[in-house]
Amino acid sequence: MKKYIIPISKILFPFILGGSILYWMYRDFPFSSLDNLLWNEMHWEWMFLSFIPGIFAQVFRGLRWRQALDPMGEHPRRSTCINAIFVSYASSLIIPRSGEIIRCGILKSHDSTSFGKSLGTVITERIVDSFLMLLLTGAVLLYQLPVILEFFNLTGVGFTGLLQRFTPTGIFVTILCGCLIAVMVIFAIKQFSVARKIKDVLRDIIEGILSLKKVHNIPLYLFYSVGIWVSYFLHYWLTFYCFDFTAHMGITAALISFCIGSIAVIVPTPNGAGSWHFAVKTILVLYGLNQIDAVAFALIVHSVQTLLLIALGVYALIALQFIYSKNANIGKEDTT
């Protein structure tokens, strides 16, 4: 019985954490107002338009992954790589951070790709993505620093006053998120120390991590990497035009909230549920949006984009099964 407690708790904890943050944020929210907002005031054409860059972000990720595997003698099909990415994002909604393992397993089972090598390239792309995200966040914050300081001077609100606006619950949630990030880092280090005992797997992982040095077309790899984050941002920014209360806020507010929201999803909840809502709501309020509209925006955008991930995951599972069945039939024909 004891051996099942830890695995089950790892699955349940992200949902409990995310649900707790969502409950705290929406405990006094007038949900009755959502009906009119969704069906009478919301511009759905912009939401559907935002799906295009959202899909492209995952396609670029699949193509970049395949490019990183190529110099190591691994040649999975483009369709398998892209569908594996779709499935990975959907599966992470059930078990946070499981997508990286699942997509490597899909390449292993469908295209006989080395699991260790593919996992190594995943680690590499996480490093590249983290660097690009930090670079973007740093640039945006530096760009906005004069505006933020002017805002504080004009309103008479200093940093101390800003901190005083946090409720005790808000402070608790912020500290909790920070502690969880620290626990995740410690857990990852321990997991890596265990993996070191498996020499063959470790060798493949290291080779995958160093795959960036062997990539034949670095400009194309960089194009995919930048394209991923540009697509992610467009996927988010276009949703501002879905609502009259955010359509006027401009690209700067979108960039700041996008960067902070992207950092917030590090907290291990399904698709950043709760932590992403809290981060985006806080930034939008800082840029002048009222609390009700800010939390409504976060709730609707996150919910619809999560449904897109689920739809892409279901599509990919069907497509992979079709490809697998087709290849099996071809194999049978070749042996007859």
Higher pLDDT, 121 or 268: 121
Flag whether 33 is in a domain: no
* pLDDT digits 0-9 by tens, 277-292: 888 988 898 888 999 9
Flag whether 192 is in a domain: yes
Query: Does the structure show a pLDDT above 70 at 255?
Result: yes
Minimum mean pLDDT among 125-139, 218-232, 321-335: which range?
321-335
Domain count along the chain: 1
Most confident range (mean pLDDT) of 33-42, 91-100, 176-185, 227-236 is: 227-236
Flag whether 225 is in a domain: yes
* pLDDT digits 0-9 by tens, 23-53: 888 888 888 888 899 999 999 999 999 999 9
Flag whether 330 is in a domain: no
Largest Cα span, the chain: 82
Q: Give the residue numbers spanning the domain of 214.
A: 38-323
Flag whether 283 is in a domain: yes
Instruction: Give the C-alpha separation, 116 to 173, whole Å.
Output: 36
Instruction: Give the C-alpha separation, 157 to 168, whole Å.
Output: 19
Flag whether 109 is in a domain: yes
Flag whether 249 is in a domain: yes
DSSP conformational letter for 156: T
Flag whether 220 is in a domain: yes
Please report the DSSP string for 191-234 in residue order.
Answer: HHHHHTT-HHHHHHHHHHHGGGGG-S-HHHHHHHHHHHHHHHHH
Considering the chain, what is the average pLDDT of its residues?
80
Residue 167 phi, psi (nearest 5):
-80, 160
Tokens 């760009």 identify what position? 143
Q: What is the pLDDT of residue 71?
A: 87
Q: What is the pLDDT of residue 95?
A: 80
* pLDDT digits 0-9 by tens, 132-175: 888 888 887 777 776 555 544 543 444 455 455 555 555 555 56
